[in-house]
Structure 1
């Protein structure tokens, strides 16, 4: 491997990821001439240290929790902490809170995009088992930057939807089961490192925007977004701000707001659905509270003998009951539709 030009492997996974990672890492050699950085979707209260300790029991590679500002070394695995994004900037890691991407933190896309922007053809991206579509845009960035793209064969994945989504959207280099992936990686990492890298301008630009926003906790300037894309009529489901569709040479649409939230088209649709459902539940609660107040008014007027006013409140109670039943029916249908959509996205 050429000196000062490190090779980097970035891995993204979701549901079923720990078992897949354990299997893959257990078969890789101790002297693998590349650094491995991993993002797995985790709940905010998960312990990355516990998971890293588990990985260390099954591999000859050294596994660590990624730390902000440190460099990465060959033969070492770096695991993103819970509720923190993991990116690369040159030959160092950034471990930052930052806005969610695709409604996840950590998110796969920021890691893959930064690896593509800084390492181009010396980066390899791997997507393993999981749900949803986080990682699709990042994988396309690696492909367009000359890197290697690998996905676990959907038939081999415990949860095939994420590999299937990547396979559907990106022209991948390799689609293999875990049993073949370690041998493939060993062969690929023995190839000479690329001396000259040509990174698409839009990928480098967006990586710099995300790095600045996530590292400095500052909003993206409107000017930056105007240069990077076109403002849409959509609102960010996370913060309510305006969304820009970013210009790109690739085929996958992506959106970003000035607060830093970013979405693929699929994750934006799902985010909007979740936001709408939350609004409907608030409306339902408000209607039920209003119905209870009207019911109390009806009972009070009945006790007082004000039958005319009591009848008016009773009519309003029945009218409110109809609205509540309609809203409950709408929520039931919305939840069923979202479940089907999640199944499609994985």
Structure 2
């Protein structure tokens, strides 16, 4: 069972994205069967995913791993894996699952798990950020640090995808930056040694009652912060600057929440989609104008009418070529190439 408040650090929360299956499996394979801690894992996944990670971890090592269930007790020696399409949240003594608003374009997302762990368990928490793109997990890791917990990040040079680890290292005063191979032994040591906080933890920014995923619903006419002058990529509502911690984030009134890098990427994707819709409309205009010109000739109409349609088609074709060039050099395309 969970150790009393005077015990060690017995809540391990792990977040990963791209490349995370192998990373988490390596950790699970090398954790001891008598680990006096409960482990919780969020791996970015599609809502239509079959959710095989839990069975993979169960076969990889000695700890019992299973898909997290709403209301399940928090017990030592178990690995709870976030199910596809649901946030994995921690409450005192039990697990809570939520289909609340996506965060950083993901559900499950890493930050809600980390924030609620920090709010519910304070300095008993060990937060681990592994391989992945962009910056989910950074704000949550800062909440763990502020609550007096221990922060662990996979060395960005060792990660298959360095985005998430690099963001954490650049924005949080991380306690341990180590290669993946060293993380299991480090976790075992941190769990077994007594908690010795020399600096009082800062107050948690997000108490457990602040909504399903750490965002508090404030009502349709509330102003939760400084208006960002930006639109939410998820619902097109206005975005506000959110500062539950020292990091800048953005949130809408629905509860969607974004870190800066993820918002920039989501906005770039939205721009590319808009340009693609415009390109399709232009190409359809070319085909329509050419068909009308052909029809005018077939019916023996005034040649001026057919020429006008052909000139219209040529103008649309030139604009379409320019639009295609914009798409090929859009920020989203460049980001995909960088990843």
Q: What is the rounded CA distance, in whole Å, between the counterparts of 1:9 and 1:201 in structure 2? A: 18
Q: What is the rounded CA distance, in whole Å, between the counterparts of 2:333 and 2:295 in structure 1? A: 44
Cross-structure match for 1:274? 269
Cross-structure match for 1:100? 102
Q: Which has the higher helix share?
A: 1
Cross-structure match for 1:30? 33
After the TM superposition, which of the residue ranges 93-102 and 33-42 deviates more from structure 2? 93-102
> Which consecutive aligned stretches of 4+ in structure 1 deviate over 4 angstroms post-superposition?
none
Tell me by how many angstroms 1:199 deviates: 5.3
Specify whether residues 280 and 125 from structure 1 end up closer, same or farther in structure 2 by C-alpha distance, changes over 3 A only.
same
Cross-structure match for 1:39? 42
Q: What is the rounded CA distance, in whole Å, between the counterparts of 1:343 and 1:119 in structure 2? A: 40
Q: What is the rounded CA distance, in whole Å, between the counterparts of 1:187 and 1:253 in structure 2? A: 33
Deviations 1:54-107 (A, max 9, x none): 211121111111001212111110001112111112222111222211111111
Deviations 1:174-201 (A, max 9, x none): 0112222222212211234589x85535
User: Is contact 1:9–1:35 with CA below 8 Å preserved after alignment?
Assistant: yes
Question: Where do 5+ consecutive residues of structure 1 fail to align?
Answer: none
Cross-structure match for 1:142? 144
**Paired residue secondary structure (1:155):** coil
**Paired residue secondary structure (1:233):** strand
**Pairs within 5 Å for 1:232-251:** 232-250=228-246
Aligned length: 334
**Paired residue secondary structure (2:152):** strand
Specify whether residues 138 and 212 from structure 1 end up closer, same or farther in structure 2 by C-alpha distance, changes over 3 A only.
closer
Specify whether residues 199 and 89 from structure 1 end up closer, same or farther in structure 2 by C-alpha distance, changes over 3 A only.
farther
TM-score between the two structures when normalised by the length of structure 1 = 0.89
TM-score between the two structures when normalised by the length of structure 2 = 0.91
Tell me by how many angstroms 1:129 deviates: 1.5
Cross-structure match for 1:72? 74
Deviations 1:194-232 (A, max 9, x none): 89x855353338x71344779xxxx65246x63x42222
**Pairs within 5 Å for 1:192-203:** 192=194, 200=203, 202-203=205-206
**Paired residue secondary structure (2:105):** coil
Deviations 1:121-157 (A, max 9, x none): 1111001122221111111111112111001112322
Q: What is the rounded CA distance, in whole Å, between the counterparts of 2:214 and 2:241 in structure 1? A: 19
Tell me by how many angstroms 1:276 deviates: 1.0
Q: What is the rounded CA distance, in whole Å, between the counterparts of 1:4 and 1:71 in structure 2? A: 17
Q: What is the rounded CA distance, in whole Å, between the counterparts of 1:154 and 1:192 in structure 2? A: 28
Tell me by how many angstroms 1:272 deviates: 0.8
Q: What is the rounded CA distance, in whole Å, between the counterparts of 2:277 and 2:334 in structure 1? A: 23
Query: Residue 281 of structure 2: which of 263, 282, 286 is its match?
Result: 286
Question: Where do 5+ consecutive residues of structure 2 fail to align?
Answer: none
Cross-structure match for 1:296? 291
Q: What is the rounded CA distance, in whole Å, between the counterparts of 1:36 and 1:10 in structure 2? A: 6
User: Is contact 2:130–2:153 with CA below 8 Å preserved after alignment?
Assistant: yes
Q: What is the rounded CA distance, in whole Å, between the counterparts of 2:263 and 2:188 in structure 1? A: 37
Please, what is the CA RMSD of the aligned residues? 2.5
**Paired residue secondary structure (1:9):** strand
Q: What is the rounded CA distance, in whole Å, between the counterparts of 1:56 and 1:66 in structure 2? A: 13
User: Is contact 1:37–1:77 with CA below 8 Å preserved after alignment?
Assistant: yes
Cross-structure match for 2:219? 221
